[in-house]
Amino acid sequence: MTLNETIARLRAGHLMVRDAQEWDELSTNLGRAYDSKDEELVEELRPSFLQSWRTVTRYVLRDTLDAAGIAVTDPRHPWGIATLTANGTSCEPLLCHAGEADRERAEAAIYGGLHLLTFAAILTNYADCLTRLFDEQD
């Protein structure tokens, strides 16, 4: 399977579950909860937001990623979708800006500063990870 085919299937798999606007609404609503420091709402929204992204990757895209020679394991980062590994190289697409990705800051996001990505930006981040993995296969 080629990189472009894998990226196209990645996008299609997520759009089978929700359209781009619905994915963006999840990010927006959780971001607003963080911005308003509403810990109760964060605790309500955060698990379903993370689980939505992780479930699509782990189950809907399993065959696609397997066919591309990419292993999927649990994320190490609290805002990671999954750890993707191929030929000894690993990467982790994130749901927030990479500059905010260190664990302490991500865990302390309720105190401000976290900017969740849009659907398009998350898929770009995901595609960048896949590109690194495919580059290592060549």
pTM confidence score: 0.86
Question: Which residue shows structure tokens 């689980």?
Answer: 51
pLDDT of residue 103: 45
- Helices 39-55 & 20-35, crossing angle to 10 degrees? 150
- What is the mean pLDDT for each group of 10 consecutive residues in the chain (138 residues)? 94 96 95 88 94 95 94 93 95 81 46 79 95 82
Q: CA-CA-CA-CA torsion for 74, 115, 4, 54, nearest 10 degrees?
A: 30
pLDDT of residue 55: 95
Q: In the numeric block, which tokens belong to residue 14?
A: 């997520």
pLDDT of residue 112: 55
